[in-house]
Amino acid sequence: MAHFEVGFKLRHNCPFNNLSKKYPSAVLAWWTNFDQDVLEVSNGGSEIPEGYTEYLTESIAYMGGRIVRNALTDSKLQMVINWDGTKREYSTSRAFMRRGCLVLQPTIHMEGWEHYRVIAFSDKDVKDLFGDLDKRGEVEILSKKIVEDGSVKDNFVISAASILGDLTRNQSEALLLALDSGYYSIPKSITTEKVAARMGLPRTTFEEHLRKAESKVLLSVAPYVRLSAKKRREPRASPRAQQSEPRTESGRFESLAFQAAQLRRAE
């Protein structure tokens, strides 16, 4: 069954959206199951901005939330929240449910916007959804594609930890620098020798880090590649085999007679 995958961002009057406007560098990732949510805040490896945690805590209390777990380090904040359901007017969930759309989590709050990815099962549902969201605030569509005869499982989210968690720091840096330098562009715009020089490493050392990083990433995504892989084509016969194949029934019988004669001689 065909469906639509749509990526968009929303800016509206909501305590958490307002928090993102006030602290645009902080990234808030949000996973929800209606009654209990998980929030995780990062700031690009830097410390959580001063005042952010207090503002977030106040917003949660105002929205009818109760923090049941709170873990804070210098560069990351994680919260588990239970909701009492008293402030539903700020939620976008009902708009998605009303139009039969499936939200691909997490929702990302950053730079004053809420970023969503949703699956819709008709073009009308997409239009109706954005009609609803336009009444709530400013909406900008980032991507939209039609998946013909596709399966929703093809749009599942793979965790970054499952793909990248096993990389060492050197391997991560080598892979990121290769990407940023255009090593994987088509056509390739830089050699490993030049990328290695930028990293201050011998070419052989850099290539070792890069190959190990590539191997780990590919092995980690292999199960998902197999899950979505198309059926392999049957191997084509070689030109020689095609030429030797009899084209008529009489030719086929002549060939079999020839093979029988050869066997008799061998006996």
User: In order along the chain (267 residues), what is the average pLDDT of each group of 10 residues?
Assistant: 85 91 90 86 84 93 91 86 78 86 88 90 92 92 78 59 74 91 89 93 94 86 57 52 46 47 48
What is the Cα–Cα distance from 39 to 41, expressed in whole angstroms? 7
pLDDT at 5: 86
pLDDT at 138: 94
Q: Domain ends where: 121, 150, 179? A: 150
Q: How far is CA 207 from CA 106, 156, 221, in A?
A: 34, 32, 21
pLDDT at 188: 87
Residue 263 lies in a domain: no
Residue 89 lies in a domain: yes
Same domain, 168 and 124: no
pLDDT at 80: 95
Residue 193 lies in a domain: yes
Q: Domain ends where: 89, 118, 150? A: 150
Same domain, 197 and 106: no
Same domain, 12 and 129: yes
What is the Cα–Cα distance from 9 to 110, expressed in whole angstroms? 10
Same domain, 99 and 56: yes
Residue 115 lies in a domain: yes
Q: Domain ends where: 150, 179, 206? A: 150
Residue 204 lies in a domain: yes
Same domain, 140 and 172: no
What is the Cα–Cα distance from 106 to 244, expressed in whole angstroms? 59
Structural domain count, the chain: 2
Same domain, 8 and 114: yes
pLDDT at 250: 43
What is the Cα–Cα distance from 68 to 81, expressed in whole angstroms? 6
Same domain, 139 and 217: no
pLDDT at 154: 60
Phi first, then psi: what are they for 126, rounded to 5°?
Answer: -60, -50
pTM of the model: 0.59
pLDDT at 237: 56
Residue 260 lies in a domain: no
Residue 234 lies in a domain: no
Same domain, 131 and 220: no
CATH number, position 171? 1.10.10
Same domain, 99 and 64: yes
Same domain, 12 and 144: yes
**The one-letter amino acid at 171:** Q
Same domain, 34 and 146: yes
Same domain, 170 and 140: no
Which structural domain range is residue 173 located in?
A: 160-228
